[in-house]
Chain A
Amino acid sequence: MTKKVLIADDEPNIVISLEFLLRREGFEVVVAVDGEEALTKARAEKPDLVLLDVMMPKMNGFDVCQAIRADADLAGMRVLMLTAKGRETEVSKGLGLGADAYMTKPFSTRDLVAQVRLLLGS
């Protein structure tokens, strides 16, 4: 069965790469460009994994992550947080809020794909 990935990031310039890579990997890709849309699509589409940017308009990645973890319907959804801030405190906060993994920009696309595969167990 094809796994579904939700990309939540407000920067089209990174979305273009992420979308291309993940489609090439054979995933079904859904895109959200702000925090609220991300949460709505997470609930509607029930993706297997969310690539979640921290800095987003309307609702930041931390809040989205928290909302996902608080929603019993979304149990088992994997969350991979992406951020442009590399502070240790932030990484800890993301993981503390229930993210499964955390990647700091700029990251290697191969590492990202490997991380996604790992999280999806494929």
Chain B
Amino acid sequence: MKPARKLVLAIAAVCIFLLALIAGIAALMGGGASMAAADRFSLLFLLSLGACAVAFLVVRELYGQYVRATLRLAEETGALVAHSGIRLADYGSVELRAVGRAVNLLAAARDALESDIEGRVREARASLEEERGRLAALMADLNQSVIVCNLDGRTLLYNQRALQELSSPGEGGKGELLGLGRSIYTVFDRALIAHALERLQQQKLQQDEGGESGESGTHFVTATRAGRLLRAHMSPVLSAVAETPDQPATSMITGFVLILDDITATSERDARRDALIQSLTEGGRGPLGNIRAAAETISDFADMPAEQRERFLSVIRDEAQALSKHLESAASAFSDDLRVLWPLEEMLGSELVAAAVRRIGERCSLVAKIESVDESLWLQVDSFGLLQALSFLAARLHDEYEIRDIRLALSRGGRLAQLDLMWIGTSMNSETAMNWEMDAMNTGGEASPLSVRDVVARCNGEIWFQRERASHRAFFRILLPCADAPREVVRSTAADRSGSRPEFYDFDLFRSSAGNHELDDLPLTELAFTVFDTETTGLEPSAGDEIIQIGATRIVNRRILSQESFDQLVDPQHHLSAESTRIHGITPEMLVGQPVIANVLPAFHAFCADTVLVAHNAAFDMRFLQLKEDALGIRFDQPVLDTLLLSAVIHPNQEMHRLEAISERLGVSVIGRHTALGDAIVTAEVFLKMLPLLAAMGIHTLRQAREASEKTFHARIKY
């Protein structure tokens, strides 16, 4: 029905109703003669009662259809705004239903949009994860250490190699110096990094001013605490800076990448080579001088008596002998270093043989097989050159003597490896073989200026040709120096650690501000925390109770870094009561051979450098730490937060602020309690849950949190 018609009908209905009512009343009044006055009144009463009833029903229906339904629609629309997936039911007047349908269409459109956005976010996240995974895998594979830091020197990313190379396995220290959010300055000298950064900025400035975009990056060499020598390459991390009215779009340095090479071995070798040269030149001068002086004297003064002459001759003999000995010992002492004149790579011998077989088979149209291979042999070779040499020899055997079947063998002979290229049947004479060894290698269109001999010499090896007449076998034998099997690198990509998100990197730290701000005014969410707990022999540090375990974990960017934890038992050198064993489960036997506090505490101090300390009932633990400060010459002077006090800030009306009670209130599941590390992790989780609650109370910065803590009653407890 059209609304206009509906209106006409409604007006008509009201009019008819009114007319009928008036007509009824008139008829009642007019036809009054035949009726008593009382009857007339009661009829009139009934009539008006009926009219009222009709009016009531009509208005109620209209109210339900237009007013109630509208309000309901409004409420449900409100709910629909808040949650996706809700639809309005079909009710009310026709018009209202039309509104409902329109709202539903709107909601559907919004839901579609939402799920689209969600999908894209998921995709973006997945691709980000994938890239991170790739990066982590790549970094894990690198032979060098890689560390990425922001301008504050905070570590954002590092690989396993870096962890291995830079950790200092000192006594009592299980904590690493390298960690996400940790300062790189605990590993490297601050001035050194600052100087390198300055050079990077300088380079950047020159490039921005239109200078040639040469290589960016700078080098320095430094020593680690463990005494290793590292060469570091530092390159800048650049971030785009948006265009502003003042200046065009550009980029600025927001951090740096350090790539480290352990050059201890190389420089040791260099030093040894220098020593060799020196011993050969300077060490030779003295004896040579003596010989020369004696020889010249004899020849210049031929008239000297025989006895005199004999003395000079014996000088010459002695000195010549001494010189020979000197030369010999130098040559043997330095032979390992002298041979590294060409960049040789270390290679598993069996791999080289397998590659040679493939290459000979492919290029020389003859059958090559492996006769025997010592799988444990590592060689130090120029593998490309050697493969060329082997296939060159095979090709000539095939071309000139129609050899179709070639065998390769690799075996160990003392300090050397023997690589044999063997065949049965006709063979050339030694002279021809020597010519082959000396000819430039030209095989399969590959021309090389080098001969087989050159290549073998490069590998510091020797080659010769040999025939066994009885068996009709002939072979070229190449003697090669062996290499040590390479040091195994523990390869642990971030991903294969308990399948959780790798924690080797945290790029969010890039947001950390530059400069040296007071921690106090930083938001709690941006601080790095060391959450720790101690187990002790008893409750009274002043009465001689001692720490027997320290456990700690770190929070950076609101994430618990479970891979970077500190967990150490401590020998208290003090009686451990059975009573306390019941609490923490640590028995005296477990403490035998553990480091003492004098060794553990400095390591813990390094572990929590530059972070805010967090503990449950921190006053207790801090007291134990502080009692040792003077004796050990360290200070735990960083800011401290106490989850017990913070709990009292958040829930002032609760009686219980024990860790279990708080955990329950905040929905943290408790596992592994009453080990120091277990409690530290629970405390860390509780602390993270507290941050939003504190924020809701207007407590955002460290200063605010400390001030609020101080106001609470518990702050007055002193141990």
Which residues on A are within 8 Å of B, measured CB to CB?
A: 11, 13-14, 16-18, 20-21, 24, 55, 82-86, 104-110, 112
Contacts and interface: CB of A to CB of B under 8 A. Distances in A.
A97 to B, nearest CB: 20
Contacts of B294: 13, 16-17
B290 A11 contact: yes
A84 B312 contact: no
Given A16-B312, A17-B312, A20-B308, A105 B296 contact: no
A106 B293 contact: yes
Contacts, number: 70
Given A13-B290, A106-B293, A84 B301 contact: no
A86 B277 CA distance: 13
Interface string B305-344: 0001001100100110000000000000000000000000
10 contacts: A13-B318, A17-B312, A20-B304, A20-B308, A20-B312, A84-B286, A86-B282, A105-B286, A107-B293, A108-B296
A105 B297 contact: no
Contact of B291 (A24, A85, A106): A106
Nearest to B308: A20
B281 interface: yes
B624 to A, nearest CB: 59
A84 B285 contact: yes
Of the listed residues A55, A105, A108, A112, the one surrounded by the most CB atoms of chain B closer than 10 A to its CB is: A105
A64 to B, nearest CB: 18
Contacts of B32: none
A24 B302 CA distance: 13
B315 A20 contact: no
Given A106-B292, A106-B293, A17 B285 contact: no
A20 B293 CA distance: 10
Contact of A107 (B289, B297, B318): B289
B324 to A, nearest CB: 15
A45 B2 CA distance: 144
A107 B296 CA distance: 10
A13 B292 CA distance: 11
Given A13-B294, A108-B292, A109-B296, A86 B285 contact: yes
A112 to B, nearest CB: 8
Contacts of A104: 285
A105 B312 CA distance: 17
B312 A11 contact: no
B221 to A, nearest CB: 24
B282 A14 contact: no
A14 B290 contact: yes
Nearest to A55: B286
Given A106-B291, A110-B296, 7 more contacts: A16-B312, A20-B301, A21-B297, A84-B286, A106-B289, A108-B292, A109-B296
Nearest to B316: A13
Nearest to B297: A17
A53 to B, nearest CB: 9
Contacts of B301: 20, 24
Contacts of A21: 293, 297
Nearest to A90: B282
B300 interface: yes
Of the listed residues B289, B301, B315, the one surrounded by the most CB atoms of chain A closer than 10 A to its CB is: B289
Contacts of B596: none
Interface string B344-362: 0000000000000000000
B273 to A, nearest CB: 17
A11 to B, nearest CB: 7
Nearest to A107: B289
B416 interface: no
Contact of A17 (B281, B282, B293, B318): B293
A13 B296 contact: no
Contacts of B282: 84-86
Of the listed residues A14, A17, A55, the one surrounded by the most CB atoms of chain B closer than 10 A to its CB is: A17
A10 B289 CA distance: 14
A86 B292 CA distance: 16
B288 A106 contact: yes
Interface in B425-452: none
Interface string B266-294: 00000000000000011101101111111
Of the listed residues B283, B290, B308, B319, the one surrounded by the most CB atoms of chain A closer than 10 A to its CB is: B290
Contacts of B308: 20
A86 to B, nearest CB: 7
A29 B289 CA distance: 20
Nearest to B296: A109
B300 A110 contact: yes
A14 B289 contact: yes
Contacts of B281: 86
